[in-house]
Chain A
Amino acid sequence: MTNITEKIKLSLSKRQRSEKRFKFLGFIGISFAILFLIIILYSIFSQGQSAFKSTYIELNIFFDEKIIDVEGKRDIEDIKFANFRKIITNSLDNYFPEVEKREEKRKLHEFISSSEEKNLMNLVLSNQELIGKSKQLWLLASSTIDVIHKNPEMERIVESDRLVDDLELSWFKTFKENGNLKFGFNKNFFSKADSTEPEQAGVLGSMLGSFFTLLITLILSFPIAVAAGVFLEELAPKNRFTDFIEVNINNLAAVPSIIFGLLGLAIFLNVMHLPRSAPIVGGMVLALMTLPTIIIATRASLKAVPPSIREAAIGLGATKFQTVNHHVLPLSMPGILTGTIIGMSQALGESAPLLMIGMVAFIVDIPGSFTDSATVLPVQIYLWKSTAARGFLELTAAGVMVLLTFLILMNGLAVFVRQKFEKKW
């Protein structure tokens, strides 16, 4: 007996070592997973947070009456079509009077964003007494200047690889040293839609597009899914047909999202000729995708309600339908709502099927209805990433931050609903 004990003792230390190694391995596994998450979030936030500020340049703007209102009539149409670009370029020329060659002047004129022409026009329209006077104004810089301002290490790169040449760099430094260059809040980010110029692009268009699309998704999928879930769980006889329906629903839940996009393309667009790029089509496609999720959540919540409630109702003479409607369904609402919110948050992040049905277009207008062309936030992120201009990089990351914020809010809401209202039977 004792030599067996001896034998066991011999292998014991080796086994304890491998026990420790194994536990460590498991720990490493999960540490990697969490590390990845942290790295992803960090890289997004570090790249995106600079998008919330813009670069502004201070210039002395002379509202030359000869340019704005030659005839002196103060006619609104005249003012609207005046050449405000000249006003801006004049100010720039005055700042650097030594610049004479046309080629160089052109480069200087690109320092200010083209959107400022319209802003100045609106300023003059509402303050006509400015005509003929001068004012110090902070104007939005163009994206290239913004990029240089936010990435000081770029100054050290060789000129041929840099975004701006040495001359432009010297102007930039002059503005900075004179105190005429500053960071301000990026007003365009939350108020504008897509644009060719990064400094003018914003997420409002895609946020509204997402809003309209999700609204359609909710309106279409929620009632149908809950109805289907109620039927399958409470009222359906157990036969081969209902089994078949169940198998179908489980399969749909696992179909890749791009297939739904193909379905939308083939039927909604080509057969039914619904408008491309409209939230209504996007909503329909996403509704089909979200149906299985909500159906499964509905069935799970209904299953969780104890049979005693149903028996009590039936004992009082209620029909099966009344039992479900008046008793079971209200009790399972928290679970159903939680599942719906989660389904919606998944739909919010979807982009592949929407690419298929055309919500990839370059939309500069902010959508106002369900049939206006629009894009959604994740697709906007995809489009910005695909653009070459360097200034779009931080916008893409910032767009991701906005998307993630919404998702966190929605999931937080789902957790809140679940914890506050769900009953533990």
Chain B
Amino acid sequence: MGFWSFFTLLCLVGFYVNWYGTTKALRINSNIEKGPKLPSLPNYYGRHALLSFILVSTTILLVWIFLKPFILDLLLENKISVDLTSSFDGDPSMLIDTIKATDPNNFFPGTNPLIIEFAKYYEYIKETSDSYVYLMVLSVALIFSIFSLRKISISFQARQSVEKTNINILIFCSVIAIITTIGIVFSLIFEAIRFFEKVPFFDFLFGLAWSPQTAIREDQVASQGAFGAIPIFSGTLLITLVAMSVAIPIGLLSAIYISEYANLKVRKFLKPVLEILAGVPTVVYGFFAAITVGPFLKDLVSFFGFSIASESALAAGGVMGIMIIPFISSLSDDVINSVPMSLREGSYAMGATKSETIVRVVLPAALPGIMGAILLAVSRAIGETMIVVMAAGIAANLTANPFEAVTTVTVQIVTLLVGDQEFDSAKTLAAFALGITLFFATLLLNLYALKIVRKYREIYD
């Protein structure tokens, strides 16, 4: 049975259950001539049965989605006969994967015929197990709904039950955010720990050489990779620095102009235009940086007699700065606007010019909020991926010269994982170690920024 036919059937049965419950309740109500009727509206009784149906079927389906690969592997393992293991001329632990990877309808000539047989078996259990589960879902869910249908009586307060269940569903939805965070931390930590079993923690954190090579096969004589992450951290910092030196002046000046000098019509036009810069996808910025800015800078700089890499930190960082301008200008604009008018009036009444008022009174008052905005922007810059993947270098380079090419944490994560790598090698696990570093760095920055902004808001509210 295909998924869609099952799904349609599920919906139909669900509708029926709902309708039956409502009708039954209506019938009971009309049979009562005097005395109290059912405590809840009839459709709540139908809804109650429907909820049982949905909850049970969803739970079983979700459990199945999680358990399916394990169960299938288990069945496959049990079926494997001894002759297969002996006739298989590869790594015994790869046996199952080989079977799974073989397509029984389209196999390479010369494949072991036993493998093909088992591949066919695997296909078979994959399809039929789904059908069995669908059947189970329908029947079990139906049984549960029958139970709730039987509960319909004068003493049953369906509405309370339905509302309580609904609220629990809402709570569950809210908790998904926590589950996601836990999932992120857990999966990252898990893989990172496996990485640190291969590469010592302090070598990673403080090592100065980054060249992730690992032996592909055990018998290969390859250089032991170095996994010192300092050049990567420094690359991220350099590019972030370049980005901030573009974004902060332009962003702040724009914010000052928009909030203090522009009249209402101009302000209404300028704010959305700056928002456009924030809405452009980062892959577009990456394209612009790689195709236009990189070569342009190269021509410009060599005109003056210097040399610059085509994947320089200046190109990538500069374009990233452009992307960040709206972050700083928008947040700063809000912060500057929330400085009370009474402070400005106090300054004007003293005979100060507008610029003096802004520089000496408004900006100092808004400073904590602006700092918070800058920190949030820095966190965004550190976590940015596409611009640097497309416009920055791949080789780790410990330097402070923006004309050179550097690589960042995010670029390395992508490079390490996009490719055919054995999942267990130190190379791919290194990506998770980098990932968890990135996660905690941005988390700390964000928490600190929010703390500053909150404290600032307290002063003025």
Report if A and B touch in the complex (beta carbons < 8 A): yes
Contact of B258 with A30 in the complex, beta carbons under 8 Å? yes
Contact of A403 with B281 in the complex, beta carbons under 8 Å? yes
Known: A257-B383, A258-B413. A33 touches B254 (CB 8 A): yes
Contact of A382 with B167 in the complex, beta carbons under 8 Å? no
Contact residues in A for B288 (Cβ distance below 8 Å): 40, 43-44
Contact residues in A for B379 (Cβ distance below 8 Å): 254
Chain B 428-461 per-residue mask, 1 if CB under 8 angstroms from chain A, else 0: 0001100100110011001100100000000000
Contact of A28 with B253 in the complex, beta carbons under 8 Å? yes
Number of A-B contacts (CB under 8 A): 248
Q: Does B276 contact A (CB under 8 A)?
A: yes
- Which B161-197 residues have C-beta < 8 A from chain A? 163, 166-167, 169-171, 173-178, 180-181, 183-184, 187-188, 190-191
Contact residues in A for B341 (Cβ distance below 8 Å): none
Known: A256-B382, A258-B414. A272 touches B69 (CB 8 A): yes
**From A33, A244, A386, residue with most partner B Cβ within 10 Å:** A33
Q: Does B243 contact A (CB under 8 A)?
A: no
Q: Which residue of A lies closest to B70 (CB)?
A: A273
Q: Does B367 contact A (CB under 8 A)?
A: no
Complex Cα–Cα for A25 and B290 (A): 30
Contact residues in B for A18 (Cβ distance below 8 Å): 353, 355
CB distance from B64 to the nearest CB of A (A): 11
Complex Cα–Cα for A256 and B441 (A): 11
CB distance from A396 to the nearest CB of B (A): 6
Contact of B384 with A291 in the complex, beta carbons under 8 Å? no
Chain A 390-410 per-residue mask, 1 if CB under 8 angstroms from chain B, else 0: 000100110010011001000
Contact of A245 with B177 in the complex, beta carbons under 8 Å? yes
Q: Select one of A26, A250, A292, A379 contacting B257, CB under 8 A.
A: A26
Contact residues in B for A171 (Cβ distance below 8 Å): none
Contact of B418 with A360 in the complex, beta carbons under 8 Å? yes
Contact of B187 with A22 in the complex, beta carbons under 8 Å? no
Q: Which residue of A lies closest to B173 (CB)?
A: A227
Contact of A256 with B438 in the complex, beta carbons under 8 Å? yes
Q: Select one of A36, A228, A254 contacting B173, CB under 8 A.
A: A228
Q: Does B354 contact A (CB under 8 A)?
A: yes
CB distance from A44 to the nearest CB of B (A): 7
CB distance from B319 to the nearest CB of A (A): 9
Known: A257-B385, A262-B187. A407 touches B279 (CB 8 A): yes
Q: Which residue of B lies closest to A37 (CB)?
A: B277
Beyond known contacts A29-B254, A228-B174: 10 more, CB 8 A cutoff:
A26-B253, A27-B257, A29-B252, A30-B274, A33-B250, A231-B173, A272-B69, A319-B159, A356-B417, A382-B286
Query: Could you show 15 A-B contacts with beta carbons less than 8 Å apart?
Result: A19-B355, A29-B257, A33-B250, A33-B254, A252-B181, A256-B385, A267-B183, A291-B177, A351-B282, A351-B386, A352-B385, A355-B389, A355-B418, A397-B287, A400-B284
**Chain A residues near B (Cβ < 8 Å):** 8, 15-16, 18-19, 21-23, 25-30, 32-34, 36-37, 40, 43-44, 47, 223-225, 227-228, 230-232, 235-236, 244-245, 248-252, 254-260, 262-263, 265-267, 270, 272-273, 288, 291-292, 295, 319, 321, 345, 348-352, 355-356, 360, 378-379, 381-382, 385-386, 393, 396-397, 400, 403-404, 407, 411
